[in-house]
Amino acid sequence: MQQKLKLAIAGIGNNASALMQGVTYYESLHQQGVKPEEWPGIRQSVLGGFSVFDIEFVAGFDIDERKIGRPLSEAIFCGENNYPVIVANLPVGPSIMRGIAAEDDVAAVAEALKRSGAEVLLYGLPTGLQQQAEWYAEAALAANVAFVNCTPEKIARTPEILARFTKQGTALLGDDLASHFGSSVIHKGLLKLISDRGLTLQSSFQVNLGGNSDFKNLAINPSSKRESKMNALGGVDAGKVEVIPSGGFLSQLEDTKIAYFNITAAGWAGTEVVFDAKLKVQDSSNAAGVIIDLVRVAASQQRMGLGGMSQEVASLLKSPGM
């Protein structure tokens, strides 16, 4: 196995908590002698030469004063974070540094990335912050660090940004991760099944509920997420299919996400077929199960000097750059 990949994180939220705790969880299984094929919830135990626990957290950035200055192992439980504790003993991790709040902060973050030795910057700020996403991408470029965009903001889909990463030989993977077993993946599969079985779609909707900070923010800034979710459904008729990224923020749900699906179709001789379903998942675990593959591909690509977007990960993203 090669040297651990060095990961920096922008946005110390629930996804960062799920990722750090999960990496520690799988390393513990490895140390206990549990075979990789027996590890739950893993698509590929080794990818790009990296095991799921071959991650060294070397830097973290946030603008929440409750997190700045704290070690990563503490910061992931601070502020509005509400991902559950699944691992008791975590490595301390790096102290969280002040992130980008204005364009003048880009240079300082780029220098911090260089000092940390980071190979990959994982971007996971709340949805709707296009300018901040661009600033962090700029910092990654300046530091020659691969950039993974977990959010629906247009980074890999912005031709000028993608061209700069490609020319420099710096990896750029995005945009907007398609969760491990997420509502978009399920909805797309159900709509395809309706078509494959010869039924005629009449209407369909997907409504998502949650209680974490992402859902709180989506209640205010839903537009980029809705666009990305529609992209993930693969060109469906927008007149027949509706997606509500956040049908409501319910604090009691914490990091649990609930999605409701309805499909109405016409079968033989126009008779009606109605399908209703409900999905309940740990939202940030659902994200971390995909993030682990994205950062490993990014690090592998970075070490080979392959800039820009890899189509190898297109299926892991709702709106992949081309």
Render 262-310 in DSSP notation, one character per residue: EEEEE-GGG-EEEEEEEEEEEHHHHHHHHHHHHHHHHHHHHHTT--B--
Q: What's the confidence (pLDDT) of residue 1? A: 52
Cα(68)–Cα(77) distance, integer angstroms: 12
In the prediction, which pLDDT does 220 show?
76
Helices then strands, each counted (H, E), the chain: 9, 12
Does domain 183-282 bear CATH number 3.30.360.10? yes
For the purposes of burial, counting CB atoms within 10 Å of the CB of 29, is it exposed (0-12), middle (13-18) or buried (19 or more)?
middle
* Residue 67: predicted pLDDT: 99
**pLDDT number for residue 175:** 97
Q: What distance in Å separates the CA atoms of residue 210 and residue 214, rounded to the nearest whole number?
A: 8
User: Could you tell me the CATH superfamily of domain 5-178+285-319?
Assistant: NAD(P)-binding Rossmann-like Domain (3.40.50.720)
What are the tens digits of pLDDT across the range 188-226? 999 999 999 999 999 999 999 999 998 888 877 776 667
Query: Considering the entire predicted model, what is its pTM?
Result: 0.94
Residues 204/274, Cβ–Cβ less than 8 Å = no
Domain boundaries, given as residue ranges, for the chain: 5-178+285-319, 183-282
- Residue ranges, the chain, pLDDT below 70: 1, 223-225, 228-229, 232, 235
pLDDT of 140-184, one tens digit each?
999 999 999 999 999 999 999 999 999 999 999 999 999 999 999
